[in-house]
Structure 1
Amino acid sequence: MLKAVIMAGGKGTRLRPLTFTRPKPMIPLVNRPIIQHTVERLKSMGFKDIVMTLNYRSDNVKEHFQDGSSMGVNINYSVEESPQGTGGSVLKAKKCIKETFLVLSGDVISNVNFKDVLKFHKDKGAVATLVLTPVEDPSHFGIAVLDEDSRITNYLEKPSADEVFSNIANTGIYIFEPEIFNFFDEKKGEIDFSNEIFPRLIEEDAGIYGYVFDGYWNDVGRPETYLKATYDILNRKIHQKIYKKRAKQSIGKIGNIWMGKNIHIGRKVRIEGPVVIGNNSFLDDGSKLSHGTVIGDGVYIGKNSTIQGSVILSDSVVKKNSFLSGCIIDTHCTINEHTIIEKGVVTGSRVEIGKNSVVKSSRHIKNQTNIVSDSVVDADI
């Protein structure tokens, strides 16, 4: 089976402050790093020889996966001292590549069948095959035009509104032949697939094809797409691993409730699934979790607090009578009593929000920020 190269070196600036303490592929998604979902899918389809290209906070990834044996795969690492671009990161891993290889981003969640793409690639005799998918808003992606034989005839990265000529977007999943490296300028510092390599392949009619995929795909690059991926996994729009244990339905507990180990559930707690509750978490009396909520390991939810469609990462505390909706709370945070956190809020780690406070929608709060009691936060911090 061919080698898979996972690009996992980006800084994830659009997901700050979550990426101040970890690389974007290591952000927990339903209590597993985003990139772990990718590795698990590769393994399930027989792709067990993996190279990860790393740069920003590379040690976080290496410490988590090590050689991959704990997951039944073999992982090697190619670490860039400085960012080399998407193409440059793969070029640096060239010494590990001798035959046809798969490339994908470490922050993409998809159910594309890699074996089907490989067959398409071989049938076309392609040098490069891009997995493409229809999108509503092409401005965040590269877009392509195909001829009747699925050959890519035009490509543009992140077009402005007046430049859009297609809604068929690049998913960041590719299959290449080793000949792809013939189109690289190895003397150049940063090399980008979308801005340099793909246009050159088109110009030289070198065999670049598009495999149009109409299944599930999510580029988890912004808080809203991160929450969407969370909700889609919980609602089983895409099947990813979740805790095996499910709570039995009973009074106050309805829907799918996936649970880790050693969880305390107090009196009159109401849980409306789909919900995930991590290991060693504590739900105090009268608290309520509603659909779309993910609770990390070691989280405390205080008396009569309500969590709606939010992600609360490990070792955070939400004290009594607080209300959180559609937000992302990073690790080791403290939300004091009688606090309201509105939709779209993202906090960094070790943030403390004083009691009787309100954090208005879509605000971002950086790591280790302390907000005094009785505050109204209506700007990014």
Structure 2
Amino acid sequence: MVQALILAGGEGRRMSDITAHVPKPLLYLPGGTLLEYQLAQLAQLGISHTFVVIHHEAEQIERALHGLEGVTLVRQRPPLTLLGALASAEAHVTELCLVLHSDNYFSNGLGYLLREAQNTPSGFNATFLVESRTHPQNKARRLASTGCYVLSPEVLSATSTLKHADGLWHLTARLLESGAMVREVRLQGWRSNINHLTDLLNASRRILEDWSERFHPSRAAAGYNRTEGCRNAELPLWISSDSQVTDSDLGPNVVVGPKARVNGCELREVIVFPGAGIVGQRVEGGVVVPTKTGSLVLTSQEQMHGRQKSHSQEEPAELPPTADQEPHPSQEKRCKGDDLHQAIGGSFQASD
């Protein structure tokens, strides 16, 4: 049996213009949020129980996941670090555990990683998904680079000794030093770590342009290249059947989420988040996000140059159920070098 853990408590400060209103796990891609994409990947693997660690805007994520079977929410305990998030879940995880940082999109399924991890002897071991081009001379940082890995429950329990360290590489370095069995598996396809608006737009574009070959929730298929309500449409695009589009020129690479409203607009390379609305505007390369008072229009150029953001006067709509983990900035404490070594016991040889 395999369990899963999604780290979804990060604040997403590098995208604060957006994450002040919508937490990172709820950032929208064609047909689902980042969190929905990851849950769909886990379902594809046959994983029946997932723990989701939450902190920033926890209530929004709770609403997004309300009623989902096989999902348990875990409030992150201090310290608010990445390893603190892992340590918060140690009491819940009893089996081999696939860990995902919820600000990542993976273009392919993850079965190949899980199969490799399941073929590893039980005990203190870990299997990390890696990209060959990252940190070729620093194995600890390379192992920590993709936000996707499989840990034995013994390793997860040992993270409490490093919980003040805000970086996964602290764990990978200790594992390598201790002699634990550590394996790496090369990434198949591509991934996107969503840290900036341009990352989100580029991931959305790549998904739309290669739809049949890229992972997306199966229920998202109905919205692909749907043009109802468009005055003119340039493919590819994605429009929810539960949205309202009227008298608008859309595309290419436009996404309109559920309960969103688009009226009299010209949009190119734009993601209209669930529940957001935009009227009579021309936008290229940006997002429309719901706020408590209406909707916010933010373009990639505005983010780069700090120009004034645009606000739509649409009435706000309730966000639909949907929903990351960027490490929370925290003052890092040095850990004693032998803490994890003592926990692990050095009983396994490291493996490439």
| TM-score after normalising by structure 2 | 0.76
- 2:128 paired residue number: 130
How far off its partner does 1:258 sit?
Answer: 2.7
* Secondary structure in 2 matching 1:310: strand
Structure with more of its chain in helix, by fraction: 2
- 1:227 paired residue number: 201
Cα pair distance change 1:258/1:216, threshold 3 Å: farther
1:269-348 matches, cutoff 5 A: 269-278=231-240, 279-284=242-247, 287-296=248-257, 297-302=259-264, 305-313=265-273, 314-319=275-280, 322-331=281-290, 332-333=294-295, 343-345=300-302
How far off its partner does 1:133 sit?
Answer: 1.5
The amino acid of 2:226's aligned partner reads W
Once residues 307 and 195 of structure 2 are traced to their aligned partners in structure 1, the CA distance between those partners, rounded to angstroms, is 15
The equivalent position to 2:164 in structure 1, one of 176, 190, 196, is 190
How far off its partner does 1:182 sit?
Answer: 5.8
How far off its partner does 1:114 sit?
Answer: 3.3
Runs of at least 5 residues in structure 2 that lack an aligned partner in the other structure: 314-352
Once residues 282 and 67 of structure 2 are traced to their aligned partners in structure 1, the CA distance between those partners, rounded to angstroms, is 42
Runs of at least 5 residues in structure 1 that lack an aligned partner in the other structure: 146-152, 157-165, 247-255, 336-340, 347-360, 371-381
Of structures 1 and 2, the one with the larger relative CO (CA 8 A, separation 6+) is 2
The equivalent position to 2:216 in structure 1, one of 209, 227, 240, is 240
Q: Is the 8 A contact 2:108 2:215 kept in 1?
A: no
Give CA deviations for 1:31-64 in whole Å, capped at 9, x if unaligned.
Answer: 5221011001111220121000111111111111
Once residues 243 and 312 of structure 1 are traced to their aligned partners in structure 2, the CA distance between those partners, rounded to angstroms, is 15
Highest CA radius of gyration, 1 or 2?
Answer: 1
Once residues 296 and 20 of structure 2 are traced to their aligned partners in structure 1, the CA distance between those partners, rounded to angstroms, is 18
The equivalent position to 2:104 in structure 1, one of 103, 108, 127, is 108
How far off its partner does 1:115 sit?
Answer: 3.1
The amino acid of 1:171's aligned partner reads T
Once residues 59 and 33 of structure 1 are traced to their aligned partners in structure 2, the CA distance between those partners, rounded to angstroms, is 16
Give CA deviations for 1:171-196 in whole Å, capped at 9, x if unaligned.
Answer: 1111111221464354x652445242
Q: Is the 8 A contact 1:3 1:47 kept in 2?
A: yes
- 1:180 paired residue number: 155
Structure 1 stretches of 4+ with a deviation exceeding 4 A read: 364-370
- 2:6 paired residue number: 6
The amino acid of 1:85's aligned partner reads T
Percent of aligned pairs sharing the same letter: 18
Question: How many residue pairs are counted as aligned between the two chains?
Answer: 302
